[in-house]
Structure 1
Amino acid sequence: MSEEKKGPGAIALGWWSREIAPRDIPAAKGLSARLRRAAPLAVLCEPAVIQLAHALDLPPGRADQLVRLSTLLAEIRENSAETLARRVGGAEPVLSSLRFQRLLRAEGEELTDHLRRAIIMADRRCNVAALAADLLNWEAARPRWCFHYFGADAPARADAPVKDSEEKTE
């Protein structure tokens, strides 16, 4: 029997569920605290983070993304069906439109700081798998976040195949 390969979001969710989510276990609570407060090199010195890197098959050149992912996952207390952009946006946004735009334009440590604040404003609850997948492919995720922030679904990609029922009839 062949096992289907998990995507990065599912892998990160599994890691978060084992290593961070069980807040009643002292080791998980301690790891979460260390990751939230640690400098980037200290984050990379955590065995659990290295396990995540191996599971995601991330090369050493993407260490900055691994650090961002690990530290932000440590901020989340509860997995939810809603994406982070939907949690902070919508009809009554908890994150102003201007701050959201700054988040989307941010790079490096500034991006991590903006995302950390957004997670806190979302009551430390969002879709862990979606956040992880987006963080690992941030450039492609930014446009989708705009739609989610305003409570809309992102349009289908232009290169996506058209369903028979959607084809134009002449």
Structure 2
Amino acid sequence: MSEEPKGPGAVVLGWWSKHIAARETSSAKALAARLRRAAPMAVLCEPAVQELARDLSLGPMQAERLVQLAGLLAEVREHTSARLARRLGGVEPVLSPLRFQRLIRAEGAELTDLMRRAITMADHKCNVAALAADILHWEAARPRWCFDYFGADAPAKAIEEKTQ
């Protein structure tokens, strides 16, 4: 049974579906390419990114997180029900445990680079809403990523307390 995304994840999934998901259109393909390659200020100058910022109520203080999110969303080509950490780990992980640990500890530009590689290793497929919510609240998402990577269910109460 698939859960409907809520909160910022739902907003981002709608935005991604509208602006980036349809890679067969030249505008979606061009926007995704610009978001993947552009400098941070160029990303912030994209009207679609400003639309996302408005929809998420993100201001100038969250500009770095917005740029990071937009660039990572441009890497995803297919929305699935599986969270990225689940696609990376499991019984036969596509991302080694050591590389996963490095990803979990990463911050800023290093986190963005490692996430891009992780999305590529997951065949550019993951749950867009979950990825967005996790990027926007990375500190709170880290414990759940550890459980997801190893294929275990996180204790619900502990995760809820961290995200509140």
TM surpasses 0.5: yes
Stretches of structure 1 lacking an aligned partner (at least 5 in a row): 1-5, 161-170
CA distance in 2, matches of 1:141, 1:10: 17
**Runs of 4+ displaced beyond 6 Å:** none
CA distance in 2, matches of 1:100, 1:63: 26
Higher alpha-carbon deviation: 151-160 or 23-32: 151-160
Q: Deviations over 1:3-23 (max 9, x none)?
A: xxx510000000000000001
CA distance in 2, matches of 1:143, 1:69: 20
Written as runs of structure 1 = structure 2, the 5 A alignment for 1:1-170 is 7-158=7-158
Q: Which has the higher helix share?
A: 2
Aligned-pair Cα RMSD in Å = 1.4
Aligned residue pair count: 156
Cα 1:23/1:159, change in 2 over 3 Å: closer
The TM-score, its normalising length taken from structure 2, stands at: 0.92
Does the aligned pair in 1 maintain the 2:144–2:159 contact within 8 Å?
A: no
CA distance in 2, matches of 1:136, 1:53: 12
Stretches of structure 2 lacking an aligned partner (at least 5 in a row): 1-5
Cα 1:14/1:123, change in 2 over 3 Å: same
* Same amino acid, percent of matched pairs: 70
Name the SS of the counterpart of 1:91 in structure 2.
coil
CA distance in 1, matches of 2:76, 2:48: 16
Q: Deviations over 1:82-131 (max 9, x none)?
A: 00000000000000000000001111100000000000000000000000
CA distance in 2, matches of 1:156, 1:79: 24
CA distance in 2, matches of 1:94, 1:12: 26
